[in-house]
Structure 1
Amino acid sequence: MSGTVNSSPSLREWLLSDRPASRRQARLGRAYVIWRRFSENRLALAGLLIILGLIVVAVFAGQLAPHDPTQGDLRYARLLPPGAEGYILGTDDQGRDILSRLIYGSRLTLMVIILVAIIAAPIGLLVGTVAGYAGGWVDAVLMRITDIFLAFPKLVLALALVAALGPGIENAILAIAITSWPPYARIARAETMTFRNSDFIHAVKLMGASPIRIVTLHVMPLCTSSLVVRVTLDMAGIILIAAGLGFLGLGAQPPLPEWGAMIASGRRFILDQWWVAGMPGFAILVVSLGFNLLGDGLRDALDPKEAGQ
Structure 2
Amino acid sequence: MSVIEATLKPYSREWLLSEQPTSRHQARLGRAYVIWRRFSANRLALAGLGIIILLILVAIFADVLAPHNPVQGDLRNSRLLPPGSAGYLLGTDDQGRDILSRLIHGSRLTLFVVVLVAIIAAPVGLIIGTVSGYAGGWVDAILMRITDIFLAFPKLVLALALVAALGPGIENAVLAIAVTSWPPYARIARAETMTFRNSEFISAVKLMGASPFRIVLRHVMPLCLSSLIVRVTLDMAGIILTAAGLGFLGLGAQPPLPEWGAMIASGRRFILDQWWVAAMPGAAILIVSLGFNLLGDGLRDALDPKEAGQ
Task: Give the TM-score normalised by structure 2.
Answer: 0.97
Report the RMSD for the aligned CA atoms in angstroms: 0.8
Which residue does the alignment assign to 1:273? 274
Q: Distance in 2 between matches of 1:164 and 1:209?
A: 44
Which residue does the alignment assign to 1:122? 123
Which residue does the alignment assign to 1:66? 67
Deviation string 1:167-187 (CA, Å, 9 cap, x unpaired) is 000000000000000000000
Q: Which residue identity does 2:272 align to in structure 1?
A: L
Deviation string 1:53-72 (CA, Å, 9 cap, x unpaired) is 00000000000000000000
Task: Give the TM-score normalised by structure 1.
Answer: 0.97
Deviation string 1:224-264 (CA, Å, 9 cap, x unpaired) is 00000000000000000000000000000000000000000
Which residue does the alignment assign to 2:247? 246
Which residue does the alignment assign to 1:211? 212
Secondary structure of 1:205's counterpart equals helix
Q: Which residue identity does 1:105 align to in structure 2?
A: G
Shift of 1:308: 3.0
Which residue does the alignment assign to 2:109? 108
Any residues of structure 2 matched to 1:284-299 within 5 Å, and which? Answer: 284-299=285-300
Q: Which residue identity does 2:73 align to in structure 1?
A: G
Contiguous gaps of at least 5 residues in structure 1: 1-7
Secondary structure of 2:230's counterpart equals helix
Q: Distance in 1 between matches of 2:309 and 2:178?
A: 36
Shift of 1:10: 6.6
Which residue does the alignment assign to 2:82? 81
Secondary structure of 1:17's counterpart equals coil
Secondary structure of 1:86's counterpart equals coil
Q: Distance in 2 between matches of 1:28 and 1:187?
A: 26
Q: Quick check: 1:149 aligned with 2:150?
A: yes
Superposed structure 1 runs of 4+ greater than 2 Å apart: none
Q: Distance in 2 between matches of 1:96 and 1:223?
A: 46
Contiguous gaps of at least 5 residues in structure 2: 1-8
Which residue does the alignment assign to 1:164? 165
Which residue does the alignment assign to 1:188? 189
| Equivalences, count | 302
Any residues of structure 2 matched to 1:219-230 within 5 Å, and which? Answer: 219-230=220-231
Q: Distance in 2 between matches of 1:54 and 1:92?
A: 22
Identity %: 85
Q: Distance in 2 between matches of 1:232 and 1:29?
A: 23
Q: Which residue identity does 2:257 align to in structure 1?
A: L
Q: Quick check: 1:16 aligned with 2:23?
A: no
Deviation string 1:259-279 (CA, Å, 9 cap, x unpaired) is 000000000000000000000
Q: Which residue identity does 2:44 align to in structure 1?
A: L
Which residue does the alignment assign to 1:140? 141
Shift of 1:193: 0.1
Shift of 1:9: 7.0
Which residue does the alignment assign to 1:37? 38
Deviation string 1:57-110 (CA, Å, 9 cap, x unpaired) is 000000000000000000000000001122000000000000000000000000
Which residue does the alignment assign to 1:4? none
Q: Distance in 2 between matches of 1:268 and 1:46?
A: 34
Q: Which residue identity does 2:179 align to in structure 1?
A: I
